[in-house]
Structure 1
Amino acid sequence: MTPLEYCRSKAAPPASSNYYAVYFADRQRQPALLAVLAYQAELADIAREVKERSVAEVKLNWWRQELGFAFDSKGRHPISQALQQPIKEFGLEKEPFAEIIEAVAMDLEYGSYPSFRELSVYTHRMGTSLTQLMAEVCGYRDKATLRHAHHLGVALLLTRQLRNLRRDADAGHFYIPEDEMAAANVSQADLRQPRMSERVSELLAEQAKRIDDFSYKPRRTYRT
Structure 2
Amino acid sequence: MSLRAAYDLCRRITARHGRTYYLATLLLPARARPATHALYGFARCVDDAVDNPRPGSDPAAALAEYSRLLDDVFAGRRPADPVLAAFADTVRRHDLPRELFDAFLHSMRMDLHVRDYPTYARLREYMYGSACVIGLQMLPVLGTVAPREEATPYAAALGEAFQLTNFLRDVGEDLRRGRVYLPADELAAFGVDRELLEWSVATGGTDRRIRRALAALVARNRAVYRRAEPGIALLRKDSRPCVRTAFTLYRAILDEIVAADYAVLHRRVAVGKVRRFAVSGRAFLARLHP
TM-score, normalised to structure 2, is 0.71
Counterparts of 1:1-224 in structure 2, within 5 Å, are 2-13=5-16, 16-50=19-53, 55-71=58-74, 72-142=76-146, 143-192=149-198, 193=201, 194-217=204-227, 218-219=230-231, 220-223=233-236, 224=238
Q: 1:53 to 1:121 in 2, by over 3 A?
A: farther
* Distance (whole Å) between structure 2 residues aligned to residue 15 and residue 62 of structure 1: 24
Following the alignment from structure 2 to structure 1, what is the Cα–Cα distance between the partners of residues 163 and 195?
23
3-state secondary structure, aligned to 1:13: helix
Displacement of 1:104? 0.3
Q: CA-atom RMSD, angstroms?
A: 2.2
Aligned amino acid, residue 212 of structure 1? R
Aligned positions, number: 224
Equivalent pair of 1:67/1:80 in contact (CA under 8 Å): no
Moved more, 123-132 or 43-52: 43-52
Deviates more, 1:147-156 or 1:195-204: 195-204
| Deviation (angstroms), 1:70 | 2.4
Structure 1 residues 109 and 23: alpha-carbon distance in aligned structure 2, compared to 1, 3 A threshold: same
SS of equivalent to 2:217: helix
TM-superposition CA deviations, 1:70-114 (whole Å, max 9, x none): 232321333211112212221111111111111101111211111
1:52 and 1:181 map into 2 onto residues whose CA distance is 36
Q: Please give the TM-score of this superposition, normalised by the length of structure 1.
A: 0.91
Residue identity (%): 24
Q: Is contact 1:131–1:150 with CA below 8 Å preserved after alignment?
A: yes
Counterpart of 2:269 in structure 1 is: none
| Distance change in 2, residues 1:86/1:51 (3 Å) | closer
| CA distance in structure 2 between the aligned counterparts of 1:51 and 1:115, rounded to whole angstroms | 33
Shift in Å, 1:141:
2.2
Displacement of 1:165 in angstroms is 1.2
Using the alignment, how far apart are the partners of 1:156 and 1:19 within structure 2? 16
Whether the 8 Å contact between 1:111 and 1:174 is mirrored in structure 2 is: yes
Distance 2:116 2:43 in 1: 21
Q: Secondary structure of 1:175's partner?
A: strand
- Offset at 1:10? 3.2
| 1:165–1:51 distance in 2 versus 1, CA, 3 Å | farther
Q: Tell me the alpha carbon deviations over residues 182-209 of structure 1, each in whole angstroms, 9 at most, x when there is no partner.
A: 2221122332323332221221111211
Deviations 1:159-216 (A, max 9, x none): 1122221111111111101111222211223323233322212211112111111111
The residue type paired with residue 36 of structure 2 is L
Return the alpha-carbon distance in structure 2 between the equivalents of residues 23 and 14 of structure 1: 15
Instruction: Report the Cα distance in structure 2 between the residues aligned to 1:39 and 1:147, rounded to whole angstroms.
Output: 23
In the alignment, is the contact (CA less than 8 A) between 1:127 and 1:157 conserved in 2?
Answer: yes
Relative to 1, partners in 2 of residues 1:214 and 1:30: Cα closer, same or farther, differing over 3 Å?
A: same
Structure 2 unpaired stretches of 5+ = 239-290
Q: Distance in 2 between matches of 1:122 and 1:153?
A: 12
